[in-house]
Each structure stands twice: as C-alpha cells, then as structure tokens.
Structure 1
Amino acid sequence: MNPSSFILVLFSITLAVALARRFLRSKKPKDQQLPPGPLGWPIIGNMVQMIMNRPAHLWIHRVMEELQTEIACFRFASFHVITITSSKIAREMLREKDEVLADRSESYASHLISHGYKNISFSSYGENWKLMKKVTTTKLMSQTTLSKTLGYRNLEADNIVTYVYNLCKLGSGRNLINVRDTILTYCHATMMRMMFGQRHFDEAAEDGGLGPKEKEHMDAIYLALDCFFSFNLTNYIPFLRGWNVDKEEAEVREAVHIINKCNDPIIEERIHLWRKKGGKDMEEDWLDILITLKDDQGMPLFTFDEIRAQCKEINIATIDNTMNNVEWTLAEMLNHPEIFEKATNELDMIVGKDRLVQESDIPKLNYIKACSRESFRLHPANVFMPHHVAREDTTLAGYFVPKGGQILVSRLGLGRNPKIWDEPNTFKPERHLDGHVENSLGVNLMEQDMRFVTFGTGRRSCPGTKVGASMTIMLLARLLQGFEWSLPHGKSHVELISAESNLFMAKSLLACAKPRLAPSLYPKIQT
C-alpha cells in the first residue's frame, strides 16, 4: 500500500470511529421525538445532502416545504441542527426557553474572528459573557455614550450627502451612482468615528469616499461574515478544523489577518496612551471606554485580545444590516415610484427642504421606517440568525431538543411565511403602519412578535439595536431628502435577485441621482 493510500485509509477509519463515538453519545431517549427531518445515512446523517445541495439554506427550506413543517431537524454527523420558520415557535425559543438555549456553537471561523470566543456574539453563555454584555449595554451603548457620539454620526450623515452631491456634479447635475459603495462609505466611516475617533486608518481619500485600506478592511469584514454563516464540513466534524478541507479556512484566516492589520496598531497605540502616558482629558470613543474600564482591584478590565475581539465584533455588527437594508429599500422604491413619492413627501412635510434631516426627526418619519421594516422582512442580510445552542435537554413545540442541539431561526422563513404575511413576496410598507402609529414613538424597527427579524432579540440579541436603527433610518432619509433617484438610461426596473452566499443584492444597485436641495445645504466633507 503506498503512503497516500495508507493515510486515506487511516483517515477514514479515524473519521468513522470518531463519528460513531459522538453519535452513540448523542442518541436521544426512546420516549422523546425529534422534529421531523429528512432521512440520513448512519453516523454521518444528512452531511452528504448538505454538501451536494449548495447553497445549503435553499435545500433546508426546500426540505421543510416538502415536509410541510415549520420546525425541522437535520443531523450533520453527531450534531442536531433544528431550523424554525414559525413566529410562534421562535417566540417560545427566545422568551420561554431563552436561557436554556443561550449557548453558541463553535467553529473555526467564529474561534478565529473572536480570538478564542472573547467577544459577545460567539462566546459561551456564562459569567464572562454576562460581563461583556453588561459593559456593552451600560457603557458603549448607554444613552450618555450615544449622545456623546451623536456628533460623529451627524458628521458622517453630512459627509455622505456631500459625497453624492460631488459625484452628481461630475456628471453635470446627474450621474450614475453605485449605491452600495455610497452606503458602505457612510457605514464604515460612521463605525470608524464611533469606535476609533477617526475616519481613516491613515490617509484620507481625495474624493471623500473610502481609501484603499478602508476598502480592504471592509472586504475582509464581509468575507469573515460569509465564512461564519456558511455550512462548512468542519463545523460538524471538529477534528478536521485547521486542515482547510473546504477551502474556506484559508479565506477566513486571511480576512482576520487583514482586519487585525488595520485595527491592531490603533488599539496598541491607544492602550499605550491610556495605560503608560496618562491618557486624555476625556473618553471620546468606544475604544477609549474599553481600555479605561477597571475591575474591582483597579486593574484593566479587558486584555488586549479581548479589546481587539470586541472591536472586530463592532466592525461586523455596524455594517451589514444597515448596508443591506438601505440598498434593498432604495431598489424596491425605484420599482415602486408611488412608494418613493410617499417617502419624499413625508420628508418634505416633516423636515422641509431648508435643512437636513436629523436623528431627532426619526420618531416622526413613520412611512420611511415602515419602508425599512418591510425590507428587513423581505430582504434580511443573512438567512439565519446566529446559532443558539441547548445547554441541556429541552423541548420546542413539543419536540425533543438534545443538549448541544443547534437551533437556527430562519429570518427568510419568518419574513416570507404565508401563514404570517398576506402577499409575502410583495413590498408593501403600509402593512407596518396599522397598529404602530398610535403610540408616541410611532413605527418601531424592532419586531417584538418575531414575525421577522431586524437586529435580533432575546438575551443573545445585538446590544446596539438603537444605534443600528438610527444609522439605518438616518442614511435612508438623507439619501431620499437630498436627491432625486431614477433608473439608469434604458432600464425599466431593478432586478431584485439575492446573492447565494448571503442575501445581499446579487449586483450592486446602480441609480442616477440629482440634487433636490439648495447647494448651500451640502456641506464640505470633513475628514
């Protein structure tokens, strides 16, 4: 037997033995019934179907439709993966069973992104997670801090309208705009300001957009996200991690390396400033807060790795939802001119055309918020919420959920469930106005009844929902107020096609923009 054949046989025997041992340990009690699911192979379960049917999320939803179920169980090796498309079951999961289902699954991507599970999103449920969640909620996302960083958000809201205005001038008053690039310019710059207190890593871009290093940073963030949400072989066969069997491990390593290359010098320099040179007169951004927090003994609360893990989480959390939501909303509006007109009329009536819309106007912009809610329902950024993992044996909808079982709530399945929504595939913002405008806050982006998902809910929800909602509506309102948008010459509609690896638009939205305000309202870009 040649060496390569011997290694292959040895590998196969090792794999079979390892999977068999895990399978025997994970068998359910005889009197408990798992949710319905497709037939699988002994030991490996549905791994072959998952690998052969890419992207896996389409296959999963197809199986659920064929089984006519809103909760299903797929077995990938020894792991039970339970998927949900029912708002009722999602509410049971995130309210009644929230604590018992509060753990996270482990993967090569999440371990690398979080520097060994040192951030909020990927760490196991326990005391360290509770500490990080408390700090994020009461310090980084407190009303005091959000008020302090309002100036940064206003600055970038001003910058983005001027950036588009300058692009329009290049085209004699109307120019073809890459809407996604514009949105990402705002999202990245706002995140950088609030986290690091600066817009660029080094030199500013001449046109007010993103520089090469910012673009590299952002591309790496999205690649890391894609790797985290993908159904990889090594997610379910842990001992294969690090061998790059599915070719994505090399990608996530490179992505994390790029993010670290951009972030780490700023973090290191700031730690040195605060802990060696006496710091500054006051904390000015999120990084300052993370560095200056102390424990009961007066020592730094977070290590360098914990700080960089938190910064990386903020990188990821503040960009994808806002970018995806605003791009899809504008695309849908271009296909529905009557919706576009209602939204701009609301802005003209509430804000007028002699000043730029501000965050303080958001509570009154109910129709624009309804448009954003409808995009969150119809076009979520990712198919599933991050995994929830059972900390002990439990039940959902009367079915058995074993300890270690992974529960995936389908954003897509909830938002397009015909049992929940009338005409589920139609963009109808008006459906969100009924029952919302009577309260003092008007339409809210959050969906308490889990009929769709915006920024998550439950104890593992994103602590930055308030700032995320503000950024999303502010950007959408500024783009609608500042410009008349139209389809490119020769186009009659926008093709509403999702990408395969995520649910972003498959192609960046291109649209023509024309300024609709006085030139004096487009301030000079501040870097």
Structure 2
Amino acid sequence: MTFDAFLLRELGVALLIFFISHFSIRLIIKNSRNLPPGPRGWPILGALPLLGTMPHVTLTNMAKKFGPIMFLKMGTCDTVVVSSPDAAQAFLKTLDHNFLNRPTIAGATHLGYNAQDLVFANYGPKWKLLRKLTNQHMLGGKALGDWAHVRTSEVKHMIRAMHECAKQGELVEVADSLSCAITNMVSQVVLSQRIFSNKGFESKEFKDIVVEFMTISGVNIGDFVPCIAWMDLQGVVGKMKRLHKRFDVFLTKVIEEHVKSSHERKEKPDFLDIVMSNGENPSQEGLTLSNIKALLLNLFTAGTDTSSSIIEWAIAEMLKNPIILTRAQKEMDQVIGRQRPLAESDLPNLPYLQAICKETYRMHPSTPLGVPRVANEACQVNGFYIPKNTRLTVNIWAIGRDPNVWSNPLEFNPERFLRGKSAKIDPSGLDFELMPFGAGRRICVGYRMAIRVVEYILGTLVHSFDWKLPNGVELNMDEAFGLTLQKAVPLSAVVSPRLVSDAYEHV
C-alpha cells in the first residue's frame, strides 16, 4: 500500500468515526431532553415510509397512540405534529413568534419562484408588503365590499350557464363551474378582465393544472432527505419544473399585456397596477418581478382552488344527506323567497347555511395538514422540548374529527353549530377547534374572501337549483391528498331550476 493510499484510508476512517460520534452525541443530547413521544422510524427515511398515500389519516391514527403533540424524524428532519386545539393554540398563539417562517421545500423553490410568494416567503419586509397590498386592495374587509359587484356578476354568469345545462339536460361538472367562476372573480379584481368563458376547454385545462399544482405539492421525499433530493426519486421535482414553465408562460403573458394597456386604467387602477407600482423599487421593500409573479400564482391557485374544493365537498355532503339540502332550501325560501336569487346581503340572515359551511370546513378542510412552519429557536411546549429548526405540522383534519372536541365527529351535522358553545365558533382563526385557514400571523391572507365566497356561491347554488345525482351513479366521497384536499372523483350532478323563470332571465 502506498503512503498516499494509507493516508486516504486513515482519513476516511477518521471521518467515519467523527460522523458516528457527532451524530451519536447529538442523539444522546436530544434523548436526554424531554422530546414529545412518537413512532420509531426507519434508518435515514425516518417515519416517511409509515405515512402512506393519506398522511393526514395516518398521522391522525398515530396521535391516538402517541398523543396530540408527536415528534417524528421525517427523513433527517425533526418534525412535530399537533393534533388538538389546545396544542395548536400553544404553538400558533403562545409561541406564534417562534414559528413565523416556512421550511425550504421543493414546491416553494420550483413552483413559488424560490419562495418569493405570499405563502412561503420568510416573515419580513417583503412578506409584510405583499400582505399589506393584498389586504388593502383585494382581500381585506373594505376591499371585499368594494369588489362585491364583481362577485355578483360572476355568480350571475355561473347561474345562467347552469340554467342552460338544466334546459339542455346536461350534467353540471361542479368543480369546473366553480373554478371558472372563482378564477374570473380573481381575474376581474387583479386584471380588470374575465379570463375564461363559462364553458370550454380553456377553463377546464386551467382547473386541471391547478389541481395538479396542489397535488404534487404534497409529500416529496427530497424535502426531508436533502442529501438525495438531487435524485428526484418520485419524479416530483421534474413535474414541478414543467408545471412552473406552463404557469410562467401564462403569467408572463398576463403581465406584458397588462403593462401595454396600463394607460387605459389611470383613473381606476386594478390590483396588478397597484402591485406593479411597487415593483423594482430601489428601496429595501420594493417587489421584484419574481415577487409579483409568485403573488399572482398564489391568487390563481390557492386563491381559487381552496374555495371551489370546499363548495364541492359541501354539495356532495348534501347529496349524501338530502334532508340537509331540503332544510337549507326551506330557510332560504323563508328569508328570500323564490322571486329572486340570493344576494350577499342575505347571508347574515341564513344561520343554517353558515352552519353547513362550518361543518364542511370541519370535515373537509382545504389544507388538511396546514402549511408547514419551522422553529426559529428551541422552545418548550407543554413540558416538551422542541429543538431549533423543527418543522411544525398542524393536523387540521384530525382536530376536526377529534371525539374529545366534537360529538359524533364522523357525522356531517350542521346543527352542531346552531346550539351550545359550538354556535359561537368562528372559522377565522380565533377558535382553534375550527381553523381551516390556519391561525396566527401566518393565517391564510385570503380567509375573509374565502368565507364570503363559499357562503355566497354555495347559498346561491342551493337556493337556485334542486340537485341530484345522475341515474345509476353512486356518490364517491374518497379524498385525494395534496397540499389541498380534493375529491378523488369530481362531482357531476343534475340540476333543475327552483326559482321563478324570470329570476334566471334577469340575472
């Protein structure tokens, strides 16, 4: 053996001893602290192989054994999973300041313009500016009122299209109709134009792209085992890059055409005009083109898909439980009658409709595991030690089905929100029993708009039409897991008008 070979061998042995010692010492230190309980995982992969295709369900079952605060090694990443309202409050309220940032994941990198968007950007000046602009000009309370006429206009387009389906004896593809309407609501506010017709390949293709976007943003092994991320074992990163190119072409075209026509809107700028005016600012808080594209991506994906998914689940639950549909229609007939369509101003007078929406948030939260956060510093929660850089996952799906919180949790029963303490529960992030949009400072910025849109569109659909399944078709309630919780089989239904004919002719 040559001297060089001998040195190389000895160096390799020394490095091996160093790494074994280093990780053994870290393990001993960690074990000496009171980490939350959790399952034993596999070498290197940790608990990842245990999750299966429905991680939210698997983690819910694990919590029954290990408790509402679990510690898992997800690959090489420390992860804490929270599955009760009290535990969620401890992390998202008491220690919210320590969990304001997101971990680095492939979806944010390859789809979110390197985490330049509102969902995954680090908590700081850029994120605060993005949130401020969206709240002031699009998603906040006053802005919602200013854009009420847009929602009314798009709901009328949708009702006319569905009424035409009813006259022609055609099925209503619920997800496609909702996606078209909500995307047009967003595009009118953002771009001053409708980007889709009510029916056609273009809107269906866009819906399919958005669903793919949300689906592939789920579990990616490379996010948890960084040393093998380059291998892209699941092919997810390749799909993300291809999907990103499709979205980038769409967004680039939108921005270029918008800039060319900006002179037409000098008196009344739309949302993109306002955002662009904050772009490429030499100040520290100026938005880059990547920030702007990433924000538009949020609005046209998460901003549309989550609401349409909730409404589709609600209609499916009412088809499964026709008595609930009948009671909702009876309430609307008493409050509104059948001479005109439902208006947004009717919503405060429809408590049963609001209860149906809350019950849908409970059983079918659009983001079942929330959006992950990461600990900036080590901390103590309920007597447990949480190491620095630990990823936080809140199992919203599990909290909504916790028998310690909800009676008969697997039963879809809107009446639970009409009496007792549950009647005061609100889905806007203040009550940790029901937080479909998260909580704390990183709550979904669009939660106000989502609540308004879900109540308004669902109420209009229930009031305007009778609903039934096509002959011979069984209702499929299976879930498809991703960043959002889709129906595995999209809902198609037969609708028939229940208002006076003039009500449809004049919408």
Question: 1:195-206 alignment to 2 at 5 Å?
Answer: 195-200=190-195, 205=197
Does the 8 Å CA contact 1:105/1:387 hold for their aligned counterparts? Answer: yes
- Map of 1:251 onto structure 2: 239
Given that residues 400 and 433 in structure 2 are in contact (C-alpha distance below 8 angstroms), is that contact kept between their aligned partners in structure 1? Answer: yes
* Pairing partner for 2:248 from 250, 255, 260: 260
Q: 1:520 & 1:21 partners in 2: Cα distance?
A: 79
Q: Deviations over 1:338-386 (max 9, x none)?
A: 2111111111111222222111211111110100110110112232000
TM-score (norm 1): 0.85
Q: 2:449 aligns with which of 467, 485, 503?
A: 467
Q: Note the C-alpha offset of 1:44.
A: 4.4
Map 1:54-69 to 2 at 5 A. 54-65=53-64, 67-69=65-67
Give RMSD over aligned pairs. Answer: 2.9
- Which of 137, 159, 177 matches 1:182? 177
Q: Does 1:237 align with 2:225?
A: yes
Aligned counterpart for 1:111 among listed residues 109, 129, 141? 109
TM-score calculated relative to the size of structure 2:
0.89
Match of 2:432, SS state, is coil
In 1: Cα distance, 2:452 partner to 2:248 partner: 28
Show CA shifts across 1:29-65 (max 9, x none). Answer: 5642111111134554334445xx3344443333333
The corresponding residue for 1:8 is none
Aligned amino acid, residue 480 of structure 1 = V
One-letter identity of the residue aligned with 2:222: T
Structure 1 residues without counterparts, runs of 5 or longer: 1-12
Amino acid at match of 1:75: K
Q: Which runs of 5+ in 2 are unaligned?
A: 1-12
Q: Closer, same or farther in 2 for the Cα pair 1:197/1:416, shift >3 Å?
A: same
CA distance in 2, matches of 1:476, 1:407: 33
Distance 1:357 1:234, change over 3 A: same
Deviates more, 1:456-465 or 1:131-140: 131-140
Amino acid across the alignment from 2:495: A
Q: State the partner residue of 1:3.
A: none
User: Which residue pairs with 1:213 in the alignment?
Assistant: 202
1:408-487 pair list within 5 angstroms: 408-435=393-420, 444-446=426-428, 448-487=430-469
Q: Could you tell me which amino acid in structure 1 is paired with residue 176 of structure 2? A: D
| Distance in 1 (alpha carbons) for counterparts of 2:32 and 2:297 | 44
Contact 2:426 2:434 (8 Å CA) reproduced: no
Q: Which letter does structure 2 place at the counterpart of 1:79? A: C
Conserved 8 A contact 2:340-2:503: yes
- Partner secondary structure for residue 99 of structure 1: helix
Deviations 1:180-238 (A, max 9, x none): 222222222222222222222xxx64xx32x433333332222122222x221110122
Check whether the contact 1:488–1:511 (CA below 8 A) recurs between aligned residues.
yes
Measured after TM superposition, the shift of residue 300 of structure 1 is 9.5
Q: Which residue of 478, 482, 490 maps to 1:508?
A: 490
Query: 1:84 Cα shift?
Result: 1.2
- How big is the shift at 1:308? 0.6
Q: Is this contact kept in 1: 2:102–2:122, CA < 8 A?
A: yes
Aligned partner of 1:498 among 463, 466, 479? 479
User: In structure 2, do the counterparts of structure 1 residues 105 and 283 end up closer, same or farther at CA, with 3 Å as the change threshold?
Assistant: farther
3-state secondary structure, aligned to 2:480: coil
Q: Aligned letter for 1:190?
A: M
Matches within 5 A, 1:94-105: 94-105=92-103
Q: For the structure 1 residues 335 and 325, does the alpha-carbon distance in structure 2 shift closer, same or farther, using more than 3 Å as the test?
A: same
- Whole-Å Cα distance in 2 between the matches of residues 497 and 60 of structure 1? 18
1:157 and 2:151 matched: no
Letter in 2 for 1:392: E
Contact 2:182 2:304 in 1 (8 A): yes
SS of the equivalent of 1:109 reads helix
2:141 touches 2:448 (CA, 8 Å); kept in 1?
no
Distance of 2:310 and 2:141 partners within structure 1: 24
**Residues 417-465 of structure 1: per-residue CA shift (max 9 Å, x gap):** 11111000001101111258988xxx84435221132222210011211
Asked if the contact 1:188–1:218 (Cα under 8 Å) also holds between the matched residues in 2, the reply is no
